Structure 1
Amino acid sequence: MSVLQAEAPVAAPAEPLRRNRDFLMLWIGAGISMLGLRAGTVAYPLLVVWQGGTPVAAGLVSFAAVLPQLLVQLPAGVAVDRWDRRRVMVACDLVGVLAMGSVAAMVLHGSLWLPLLMAAAFFEGSAALVYRLAERAAVRNLVRPDQLSAALGQNEARGQAAGLLGGPAGSGLFTLAGWLPFGFTAVAHLAALVTLLLIRKDLQEARTVEPRRVRTEIAEGLAWVWQQRFMRAAVTLIAGSNLLFQILALALVLVVKQHGGSPLTIGLIGMVSGVGGVAGALAGPWCMRRLPMSVLICGTLVAWALLTLPVAFTSGPVQLGALFAGMSFAGALVNVVAGVYQVQVTPDALQGRVTSVFALASSGMNSAGALAGGLLLSALGTRTTVVGVAAAMALMAVAAVLTPAIRRPPQ
């Protein structure tokens, strides 16, 4: 008597990321929102100057737009971890629609009221900041663990592309009509809201801890990062490299100007650099499958040092574009590496707060780097300052290689 053995069930093929409807809705909506934000940010100073405002007024509006990075960052992390992420993101899109819609209406009316423009810039910047934190925290709830690196790589590439296209879009729309960049940004927030409402899955795990005082929850996020040796070292490296790149960005402007270049030259170099960033973001998941994280991080710092030094001795737009594209490639790649690790190891209930700690370190050093860059370039000159930046980057690479937490990160 024979017994027929039942065939083992065949596992269904994994759904590719491009067919993950919920992830695509989030990815597309956030990308449109980021493009609108970039276009509006570029248009702020154009609006003030072309409406007869002073450079001081233009600076005040730009300051209002970036101020949330310092004031709102840590409380925003608490909001993302405490409340329903979908509702938080819906509220952010609504704030963006109202803020940018009010600016578009003001320009159409033919008036320019500086306090309203500053308030709109601040509230839209705050909403965009909270939205980005919530979106990053939500990704791992929409994709399989083995797809996380690819998903975050696509997010990084999307951000690089939005930065690349947003500047020309903002200035181009402003050329057509002063209200258009702000109307476009309002519509972009509305489109992001629609895609968000189409997502079916929950964007966070069930909350099991009752909300506490905001200060207590911020301290919890800071303490968690401090207890992770690798994260502690990574925050330090991120902060240091951002400070150096702000100095380098200002040096680029002076290099181009001193050799007879124009603002268009700087814009073209920025576009080439952005292409390098997109390529680096897309290459991130591929590199992570083949190289250890320590090699990628230390290698990035070495590459930055090697690519920075020639900036001090060249003025050709093609050469400068290639150098900055290489730096952006390495930077986007390491952003993916660090981002994947952070999202993987951080508990879902701490995602917003931990990401906000990294973002605060980044934005804080951006401000310090802009100030330090002006002082150093005035005192030492362009070439000496850039050589110093390259040397500092090399020292950071050596420090990373010698730091056990970076050399042997936890798996």
Structure 2
Amino acid sequence: MSLLDEAAPEARAAPEPLRRNRDFLLLWSGAGLSALGLRASVVAYPLLMIFFGNSPTGAGVVGFAALLPQLVVQLPAGALIDRWDRRRLLVLCDLAGLLAMAGVTAMLLAGRLWLPVVAAAAFVDGTAGLCYRLAERAAISHVVHPSQLNSALGQNEARGQAAGLLGQPAGSGLFQFGRWLPFAFTAVTHLVALCTLLLIRRDLQGERTAPAASLRAEVGEGLRWVWGQRFMRVAVGLLAGSNLLFQILTLTFALVVKENHGSPFQIGMIGLVAGAGGIAGALAGSRAAGRASPRAVLAGALALWAVLMAPVAFVSHPYVLGALLGGMSFAGALMNVVAGVHQVRITPAALQGRVTSVFALLGSGMASAGALAGGVLLASFGTHRTALAIAAAMGLLALVSLVSPALRETAGDAGPSVPDMARSEEI
């Protein structure tokens, strides 16, 4: 049973504040620590291979291993999250990440560096982090009251933005004091997150009575459900396109700074400003989710991104670039919260993991394509034309969001609410 069903009407009318919701705080803090540790280790992998292993090729291999789970594990992971006990799966994720990072730490303390070990550890920890995020997203509605879902997902988005903001300096800073320290730090975050999970009292899923279908059939069920939702189908396509454009923009930012004799420190400062904008957008998103329709937020974000991308073709000052990216991050984080609330509210509890994995796969897949396309475009046309092209493409996506009949299906008519789904689902 989830919190959607278990409380009496008078209890549902006055839920305890999130700051006093013990299980939410435990889940929130554990997931935040796991995300922070994962980000620190991802930053440290190329540093380890280049500065200790003297192998740029090895850095590429390890980076590929860390990202590979996003492409090959995403869909089956979503099905397994809907099939297995989520609490046990979260525990297994932390244990897998802990053992992988402890292995790398022990190897480095012994003065060794074996590329296969580092690559395998990166793949295992990346897979564990991916499964952890999907399972936590699917479990959130079982530890908070339905009226607090907006705020809870907003805090989750802010936590993710903060982990990204702090993880990069944590990973690179620890590496300066000891090449093993970032991986030991990640192991410790997994250990603490594991302890928080063991203290959670509530179930993290509803009852499951029907026998499980084959994994392939369950993955197909999630894909069919997403395809059957006109609003979600078109919105996901637009967001996948925007992810591709943002990956090109990231490369464009770095090249603009380099062409104007900027430093890596300036690129880092741009990232800090962007992270701050993302945190502010996430905090604003919990209020926007209760006041604005998903269609309005999606169209507004796409339009704002197009407007803010165009000046990148004409400016080079790092602080101006940082302000532009900060505005984009604000809109992106706000939209992530609104889209997340909409998805959780209309998705049956039995499909939460699979539906989230479909969206994540599309996003990560398009980001990979964007990295490849960005390199080709920048080499062929330069930063000025590339920035104008991606701004125009983003403007086209915004126009589609305004005229598409499918996007008129908002949260009010796209499907039953979460409480209705929770009461009527048959698993």
Fold equivalence (TM over 0.5): yes
- Give per-residue Cα distances to partners, 1:59-79, cap 9 Å, x unaligned: 000000000000000010011
Aligned to 1:73: 74
Residue 125 of structure 1 pairs with residue 119 of structure 2: no
Matched, 1:354 2:355: yes
- Alpha-carbon offset, residue 10 of structure 1: 8.0
Q: Give the structure 1 partner of residue 204 of structure 2.
A: 203
Q: Which amino acid aligns with 2:219?
A: I
Give the Å deviation of 1:410.
4.2
User: CA separation of 1:410/1:152 partners in 2, compared to 1, >3 Å: closer, same or farther?
Assistant: closer
- Match status 1:151 vs 2:152: yes
* Cα shift at 1:232: 0.3
CA distance in 2, matches of 1:362, 1:13: 37
Please name the residue that 1:137 is paired with. Answer: 138
Return the TM-score normalized by structure 1: 0.96
Identify the residue that residue 285 of structure 2 maps to in structure 1.
Answer: 284
Name the structure 1 match of 2:415: none
8 Å CA contact 2:44, 2:182 repeated in 1:
yes
The 5 A counterparts of 1:33-112 are 33-112=34-113
1:296 matched residue in structure 2:
297
Asked whether the 8 Å contact 1:243–1:365 carries over to 2, the reply is: yes
Q: Compute the RMSD of aligned alpha carbons.
A: 1.2
The whole-number CA distance in structure 2 between the counterparts of 1:394 and 1:177 is 46
1:295 shift after superposition: 1.4
Give the Cα–Cα distance (whole angstroms) in 1 for the partners of residues 375 and 142 of structure 2. 43
Q: CA deviation at 1:93?
A: 0.4
SS at match of 1:260: coil
Q: Percent identity?
A: 64
Shift of 1:52: 3.2
Aligned to 2:231: 230
For 2:50 and 2:143, the matched residues in 1 are separated by 44
SS for the counterpart of 1:15 is coil
Q: Give CA deviations for 1:168-201 in whole Å, capped at 9, x if unaligned.
A: 0000011111100000000100100000000000
Structure 1 stretch displaced more, 292-301 or 74-83: 292-301
Corresponding letter in the other structure for 2:288: C
SS across alignment from 2:285: helix
Map 1:143-292; keep pairs closer than 5 Å: 143-292=144-293
Change (3 A) 1:168 1:279: same
Asked if structure 1 preserves the Cα contact closer than 8 Å seen for 2:45 and 2:63, the reply is yes
Q: Following the alignment from structure 2 to structure 1, what is the Cα–Cα distance between the partners of residues 269 and 320?
A: 12
Q: What amino acid does structure 2 have at the position aligned with 1:142?
A: V
Residue by residue over 1:254-307, the C-alpha shift from the partner in whole angstroms, topping out at 9 and shown as x without a partner, is: 100000101111011001000000000000011223322221111101000000
Aligned to 1:29: 30
CA distance in 2, matches of 1:348, 1:408: 21
Cα distance change on mapping 1:314 and 1:16 into 2, 3 Å: same
- 1:390 aligns to what SS in structure 2? helix
Is the contact made by 2:255 and 2:383 (CA closer than 8 Å) also made in structure 1?
yes
Between the aligned partners of 2:344 and 2:410, the Cα distance in structure 1 is 15
Q: Give 1:3's aligned residue.
A: none
1:212 partner SS? coil
Listed as ranges, the gaps of 5+ residues in structure 1 are 1-8
| Kept in 1: contact 2:41–2:186 (CA 8 A) | yes
Gaps of 5+ in 2: 1-8, 413-427
**4+ residue segments displaced more than 4 Å:** 9-12
Structure-2 change in CA distance of 1:305 and 1:10 (3 Å): closer
Segment drifting more, 142-151 vs 49-58: 49-58
Q: Who is 1:17 aligned against?
A: 18
Cα distance in 2 between the residues matched to 1:318 and 1:202: 47
Does the Cα contact within 8 Å between 2:65 and 2:123 map onto a contact in 1? Answer: yes
Quick one: structure 1 residues 115 and 309, their matched pair in 2 at CA, closer, same or farther if it must change by over 3 Å? same
Map 1:330-341; keep pairs closer than 5 Å.
330-341=331-342
Partners of 2:69 and 2:239 lie apart in 1 by: 19
Counterpart amino acid of residue 394 in structure 1? G
CA distance in 2, matches of 1:44, 1:233: 37
Q: How many residues align?
A: 403
Shift of 1:234: 1.4
Name the residue aligned to 1:327. Answer: 328
Equivalents in 1 of 2:238, 2:121: separation in Å? 33
d(CA) in 2 for partners of 1:255 and 1:374?
Answer: 13
How far apart, in 2, do the equivalents of 1:102 and 1:344 lie?
Answer: 40
Partner of 2:391: 390
Letter matched to residue 198 of structure 1: L
Secondary structure of residue in 2 paired with 1:381: helix
Q: Is the 8 A contact 1:221 1:353 kept in 2?
A: yes
